[in-house]
Structure 1
Amino acid sequence: MQTSQLLNELMGTYILGVLISMGIGLILGLEREYDKLKEEQGFAGIRTFPIVTILGFSLGSLSEAFTPWLLIISLGSFILFLGFNQFSKAEEAYSKGLTTNLALIATFVLGILVSAEFYRDAVATAVIIVTLLSLKTRFRTVISNITSEELSAFIKFSIIALLILPFLPNETYGPDDLLNPFEIGSIIVIVSFLNFIGYFLVKFVGSEKGILLTAILGGLISSTAVTWSYASKSVESPELSKKYSAGIIIASAIMFPRLALLVYIFNSTLFTYLALPFGILTLICLVTSLILIKRDTKEPDTNIKLGNPLNILNAIGFGVIYVIIGFAVFYGNRFFGENGLYYTALIAGLADTDAITISMAKFSLSNTDLKLASSVIIAATLSNMLVKLGITLFKGSKTTGRLVGYTFGSIIFIGIIYILISRG
């Protein structure tokens, strides 16, 4: 027997609804009461919100027995009452009380939801609303630090994700149905979203939290960018080479769980084949980073040039790379078999690992050889690690090059052994 059914039998449907409505009202009213005390203004708090929720629930229950017009007229009257009350205030009080009025209307609607026995939905919505209300100060702080370029990037991303993507044709074209505009657009949006989130995590969380956290968050955007930045800093401050080496290694470690996430999104079955090797390679990077970071107690400058949070040309370029790699995977497998896939992975990994990973995840949906797909993805990551090793040796200090070389060399060696064993 479900919990709701048991409670219904113990106290009845109406009393249960009243209690749930009161709980929802208390959740919202507590936050508004605290805000009212802090701002020394406001007209609704911990008593008003529960009453409004119970009112919405009671009217919703009565409308089922009489007429739906009772609920419609009541909701309209409540909105008009709040509107007249709002317009009668001074301009300053008007701006401060608008959010509370909207919260009261939402609270009334939540009571109606409870009357329709959408208990979980109503409680979940109340938690979301109270979270938004309580984060007012944090939102203002974040918004005050957003640049015009970042705002423009957010608007562009919203246009791409919400206005352009839904209208792309979800049809296949080309040989073996390799081209699907909607899928290509979805891939661009997903990867751009991951980079977008990573950018703002670095901006608002990682800039002053130490080199490791910055490297972790920076790795969400581009581990290659972190490698380039930290390798240069290790030359400027060679006494901090161990810590910069740890930052390069841990930023590269983020590549493995990030790619695993992409694989899980597009082919959850293939994820099980990559969990073990990616877990081992990630663990090697993490352990090495922690050992190096403990040997250096100085705190270096951790600022990384983040660039543009959303470069449209780069996003389109990624889509082009994805399509090219998709064709390369298809024709490489057709004309060269397994070797063609490995050649494609090694070349693709020099520039980007996301595109080849997504291509192989989708390729393995129609190909039963999941071990082959996982080995190709691992080969691409090893190629990418080799590029970052070259950057470190070229731009970094001797100590940084040596430490990163040992770690990346070990990872490349273990990865090659794993591929040989899995294909043997």
Structure 2
Amino acid sequence: MADLENFKLLGIALALGLLIGLERGWRERERGEGMRIAGLRTYGLISLLGGVSAMLAKQAGPLLIGFVFIALALILLVAYSKNLEKFEDVGITSVIASLLTFILGALAVFGHVVLASAAAVVTTLLLGFKPLLHGWVSKLDQQELEATLKLLLISVVMLPVLPDQGYGPWGVFNPYHVWWMVVLIAGISYLGYFAIRIAGDRHGPVVTGAFGGLVSSTAVSINLARLAKNDPSMLNTLAAGILTACATMFARTLLLASILNPSFFQQILSSMLVMSLFTYLFALLFWLNAKTLQNNQEVPLENPFQLGMALKFGLFLSVVMLLSKVLQIQFGDMGAYVLASISGVADVDPITLSMAQLSKHGGLDITVAGRAVLIAVTVNSGFKSLVSWVIGGHALGLRVGCVLASAILLGFLIGWRLL
């Protein structure tokens, strides 16, 4: 039984090596037999070597694996230097892949089969996706690279060290909770921005609206409304894009609520879902009756992440949470509604996050919180309708305004009664 188990583990180790070797052999097939560092058979043997070394190390001690690994590294370096003289290829991907293959073979024999198999698959994907990954890197702007690093800074470095406790009046200010919501908003906006970059907004305003609504539906509405001045015949197409962004904003509000407070999410689910689906439906109808966009104009979006903007958003969010508490104490439910109507002009996210947090920790009745968010999205939708009218003209404003007003009315009829 022990021998059978050993054969099984060695077979898995060999299979992992052959998987990686299959991709490497296919990638370097142009060089021909004997003209590359390692191919299909070599990777299989390297992984098998790792497995056998691990099996012997169980008896002789772990140092054996270290010595075999060093010997393998030296052999690969010699082969690499000889290969470098022939092809002047300074890439070390195959060398690193070979060393990793050895380790995965050893890992499988030590019993971590699932981990080794998953790592082998990921390794093969990384090796195989070279053209795609290099294509992404070539399209990446400096500001987008900086945005990625800054997002990692605030999420991986800063968030874990912030204290998770309340400060200030009524303990409203919790640094960890506030910054977590900043990271959440920044992450969603970041994904929406790069979704447009990858898919390309030249495919039409509807694509821009679908992904741009994750970044800023207001920004999408303003920029698409500007295009109506240049080409009035594209009103249906542009209306479809703006309405898609607005519908995505409703869905985004639901997404934030579901992450922060499931109970709050259930409270606003029916109204937000109805408004989103209704708006998406009319966006589709406008799109089906629209002409193809001819001018290939792109819709400009801001930098996917700016550290200064994140700090301002965190400060604004803290102020909204504090004001929500103060107004609720001083004026009861009406205070939350007034604040929602004011903050909803600029952005729905702060009031959504504030209401989700306050209702989660018992600082605000969940029904009041749900109604406040409904008021905020109503005001925000009205503002985007006004923007469409003023910038894009009355024809665009009527298309957008009538649909959003109907969606809001329907959402209120369904949601307010349930709330």
TM-score (norm 2): 0.91
The residue type equivalent to 1:13 in the other structure is E
- The answer for the alignment partner of 2:353 in structure 1 is 358
User: Is the counterpart of residue 406 in structure 1 residue 402 in structure 2?
Assistant: yes
User: Is the counterpart of residue 329 in structure 1 residue 324 in structure 2?
Assistant: yes
Pairing partner for 1:235 from 224, 229, 232: 229
- The answer for the alignment partner of 2:10 in structure 1 is 18
How far apart, CA to CA, are the structure 2 residues paired with 1:124 and 1:348?
47
Following TM superposition, by how much is the alpha carbon of 1:91 offset from its aligned partner in structure 2, in angstroms? 6.4
Which stretches of structure 1, 4 residues or longer, exceed 6 Å deviation after superposition?
none
Q: Work out the percentage of aligned pairs sharing the same amino acid.
A: 28
- Cα deviation, 1:124-152, whole Å, max 9, x if unaligned, reads 22222222212211222222222233233
- CA distance 1:179–1:51, shift in 2 (3 Å): same
Tell me if structure 1 keeps the 8 A contact 2:274–2:411.
Answer: no
Following TM superposition, by how much is the alpha carbon of 1:17 offset from its aligned partner in structure 2, in angstroms? 1.6
The residue type equivalent to 2:340 in the other structure is A
- The answer for the alignment partner of 2:184 in structure 1 is 190
Tell me if structure 2 keeps the 8 A contact 1:227–1:391.
Answer: yes
- The answer for the alignment partner of 1:30 in structure 2 is 22
Tell me if structure 1 keeps the 8 A contact 2:250–2:276.
Answer: yes
The residue type equivalent to 1:32 in the other structure is R
- Cα deviation, 1:324-369, whole Å, max 9, x if unaligned, reads 1111222222222222222222222111111211222221222284
Following TM superposition, by how much is the alpha carbon of 1:38 offset from its aligned partner in structure 2, in angstroms? 5.2
- The answer for the alignment partner of 2:168 in structure 1 is 174
- CA distance 1:95–1:314, shift in 2 (3 Å): same
User: Is the counterpart of residue 421 in structure 1 residue 413 in structure 2?
Assistant: no
Tell me if structure 2 keeps the 8 A contact 1:345–1:379.
Answer: yes
Structure 2 unaligned spans of 5+: none
Pairing partner for 1:382 from 378, 385, 390: 378
- The answer for the alignment partner of 1:208 in structure 2 is 202
Pairing partner for 1:340 from 335, 344, 356: 335
- The answer for the alignment partner of 1:312 in structure 2 is 307
Following TM superposition, by how much is the alpha carbon of 1:215 offset from its aligned partner in structure 2, in angstroms? 1.8
How far apart, CA to CA, are the structure 1 residues paired with 2:86 and 2:222?
51
- CA distance 1:288–1:173, shift in 2 (3 Å): same
The residue type equivalent to 1:341 in the other structure is A
Following TM superposition, by how much is the alpha carbon of 1:98 offset from its aligned partner in structure 2, in angstroms? 0.5
How far apart, CA to CA, are the structure 2 residues paired with 1:399 and 1:238?
9
The residue type equivalent to 1:191 in the other structure is I
Q: Name the Cα RMSD after superposition.
A: 2.4
Tell me if structure 2 keeps the 8 A contact 1:253–1:281.
Answer: yes
- CA distance 1:16–1:257, shift in 2 (3 Å): farther
The residue type equivalent to 2:29 in the other structure is L
How far apart, CA to CA, are the structure 1 residues paired with 2:186 and 2:102?
38
SS in structure 1 of the partner of residue 28 of structure 2? helix
- The answer for the alignment partner of 2:125 in structure 1 is 131
SS in structure 2 of the partner of residue 47 of structure 1? helix
- CA distance 1:370–1:14, shift in 2 (3 Å): farther
How far apart, CA to CA, are the structure 2 residues paired with 1:91 and 1:321?
60
Tell me if structure 2 keeps the 8 A contact 1:165–1:182.
Answer: yes
- The answer for the alignment partner of 1:3 in structure 2 is none
How far apart, CA to CA, are the structure 1 residues paired with 2:48 and 2:271?
55
